[in-house]
Every structure is written in structure tokens, then in C-alpha cells.
Amino acid sequence: MSATDIETGRVRGFLFEQLDIRGAWVQLGPAWREMTAGRGYPEPVLELLGQLAVVTTLITANLKQAGRLTFQLRGDGEVSLLVMDCDEQLRLRGMARFAPGLAAGNLPALLGDGALTLSLDTVGMRQPYQSHVPLQGDTLAAVFEHYLAQSEQLPTRLWLAADRETAAGLFLQALPGAAERDADGWNRVQVLTDTVRPEELLGLGSIKLIERLFPEEDVRVFDPRPVAYHCPRDEGKIEAMLRGLGRAECEAILAEHGEIRVHDDICNQEYTFDAAAVEALFAIKRTIGP
């Protein structure tokens, strides 16, 4: 696998032909750096959000229907919110909220008493499917291993790593009948994958990593899919929100501050409206309204 593949950002599935065990590898470069640019995230937050980006990419890539998947981790600790969103084209966006000056710690120490919420909006659904469960596990990988084992009823393992430059991970899942194919297969590939080091996840391409971890296994590797950061400006969304506030509220904000500033947290973008822009906004409403 070339350096260009690593830099672009890829997810690649693979299958242990003789074991009925499937896997996937993901490595995010520019998409991860674009998402976190200008955010000022401290290392503990950066690591958690990067791992969440990897997990969200892996799970979205395995969806059977086109749609948008969103994970939220909320807690009462110093990290109060982690959000990651991915669509069927593997376009990511995400953010974190945290207390200033937070100390390093494991997941329970940082998030405190919290919960994981999944929202899945697929084509043809009248409303998004939601699942809400308590956080169980000392690491993000453990939280999602437990969640996936419960929701899919299949043994699942995750290995995750993230720094300021790259976020990466491996996913393994035993398919129905794996134990009948090879009673020791699932245990064997877990033991082999447990030898992976964070720097290998972050620095090696998929083929080299698979060859390093599973030299004696028959592994079929599928074509990679690109992953990108996608969070364009959306003036229409902000304008709709201001119309929802109403003219009187908007004019009160203008009178106090001279302008209206709206910050889109998930995309880290600022929108500014002066008196003329607000007047035009509500003039349009009168023109097109009932």
C-alpha cells in the first residue's frame, strides 16, 4: 500500500477465508486533521474523538443500507460530549466539548457517568432509529465491543489509536458458524492482533499490517474505500434557525450587540448577520410566506 493511500484516508475490509471471521482496517489522515484544525483539543480529548471517528467509519462502512450514522457519548465528567457523524459516502464530521484544563485519564474518569446514543437515518425510514445505552468499559474500544456484541449478537474486537496527525483502527468480528469452521480460530486471530502496537496502526498501510499480523492465515482483502471530512457551510440552516427565533428576538440581539453571531459547533464555523442581513431575512419571509 502506498503512502498516498495512507494520506488520503481509507477503510478496507478483509475476510479470513477458512475461519468465517471478517475484519476491517481504517486509517484517517487529512480528514482527521481537517476535522480538528483550529479546535485546540488537548491530547486526551483528541485521542477519544479520533478513536470515535475510526469506530464510526468502520461501522458505517458495514451498513447494509445507505444512510447517516451518528454516535454521541455524553457524560457528567470533564468531557461532556463527543459526537461523530458519517454518511454512506464515508464523509465524516465531529466535535467534542470539554472543561478547560482537564486532566488526563481513562474513559470513565474523563466522561464520568455517561451514555452512548446511536442514531441511524437510512433511506426509506420515516424517522431515525435510535439506541441509548449506558457506557460500559474503561476504553472506547471496550465500550463499542460491548455495544456491538449486544446489538449484533456476534463476538467483536476493536483496536484503536489516534494522535494529532492520524487516527486508525482494526475491527474483527466472528460470523455465525465460525466456531464450527475452526474451534480455535477466533481466539487465535485475537491473540495475533493483540500484538499490534499503536504506532503500527498509525503508520502501516493495510496490506503490510495484515501480512505482519496474520502471516499464516488465508486472508482475502477487498478494495479500499476513501474517507473524507465533509462539513460545508450551510447558511440556509442558520437562516431557518433565526426565522424560528422571530423578528423581535433577532432585533433585540441586534440592539444589544450590533450584530448576530452564530457558531456552528460541529463544523467549527461562524455566521454573522448585521441589521441589513436580518432585515433581508425577514423581508424574504414576508415575500414567500403565506
The whole-number average pLDDT for the span 163-168 is: 96
SS3 124: coil
Please give the residue that has the higher pLDDT: either 206 or 105. 206
Q: Are 228 and 92 in contact (CB under 8 A)?
A: yes
The reported pLDDT for the residue numbered 237 is 85
Confidence of residue 8 (pLDDT cuts 50, 70, 90): low
Parallel, antiparallel or unpaired: strands 91-98 and 228-229 = parallel
Domain architecture of the chain: domains with CATH: 3-229 (3.55.30.10), 235-288 (3.90.1280.10)
Grid coordinates standing for 21?
Answer: 471471521
Exposed (0-12), middle (13-18) or buried (19+): which is 248, by Cβ within 10 Å? Answer: exposed
- Distance (Å, rounded) from C-alpha 77 to C-alpha 99? 8
**pLDDT tens digits, residue range 98-149?**
998 787 778 888 999 999 999 998 877 778 888 899 998 999 999 999 999 8
The reported pLDDT for the residue numbered 284 is 59
* Main-chain dihedrals φ then ψ at residue 159, nearest 5 degrees: -125, 125
Does 1 score more than 60 pLDDT?
Answer: no
Share of the chain above pLDDT 70, in %: 95
Q: Is the pTM of this model over 0.95?
A: no
The reported pLDDT for the residue numbered 48 is 96
How many Cα neighbours within 13 Å face the side chain of 164? 7
- Distance (Å, rounded) from C-alpha 59 to C-alpha 130? 15
Confidence of residue 289 (pLDDT cuts 50, 70, 90): very low
**pLDDT tens digits, residue range 55-101?**
999 999 988 888 899 999 999 999 999 999 999 999 999 999 999 87
